[in-house]
Amino acid sequence: MAKPAKELAKKTYALRLNRGLMLEVQHLALDQDRYVNEMIEEAVRDFLKKYREKNPKKGAE
13-56 residue pLDDT tens: 999 999 999 999 999 999 999 999 999 999 999 999 999 998 88
Q: At what angle do helices 36-54 and 19-32 cross, to 10 degrees?
A: 110
Phi, psi of 17 (to 5 degrees): -120, 155
User: H or E element: which one contains 39?
Assistant: helix 36-54
Residue 5 binned pLDDT confidence (cut-offs 50, 70, 90)? low
Distance CA 23, CA 5 (A): 29
The residues near 35 (Cβ < 8 Å, ≥ 6 apart) are: 29
